[in-house]
Amino acid sequence: QVQLVQSGAEVKKPGAAVTVSCKTSGYTFNSYYIHWVRQAPGHGPEWMGWINPNSGATHYVQKFKGRIAMTRDTSISTVYMEVSDMRPVDTAIYYCAREGDSSGSDAFHVWGQGTLVTVSS
92 counts as binding another protein under rule CB under 8 A? no
Using CA atoms, how far apart are residues 74 and 39, in angstroms rounded to an integer?
A: 27
Which of 11, 17, 40, 61 lies at the binding interface for another protein (CB under 8 A)?
A: 61
- How far is Cα 67 from Cα 17, in angstroms, rounded to an integer? 9
By CB under 8 A, tell whether 25 contacts another protein.
Answer: no
Member of 10, 45, 52, 71 binding another protein (CB under 8 A):
45
Sign of the CA dihedral running 7, 11, 14, 15: negative
User: Should residue 111 be labelled a site residue for another protein when binding is judged by CB under 8 A?
Assistant: yes
Residue 1 to residue 89: CA distance in whole angstroms: 35
- The residues binding another protein (CB under 8 A) are 35, 37, 43-47, 59, 61-62, 95, 101, 103, 105-109, 111-114
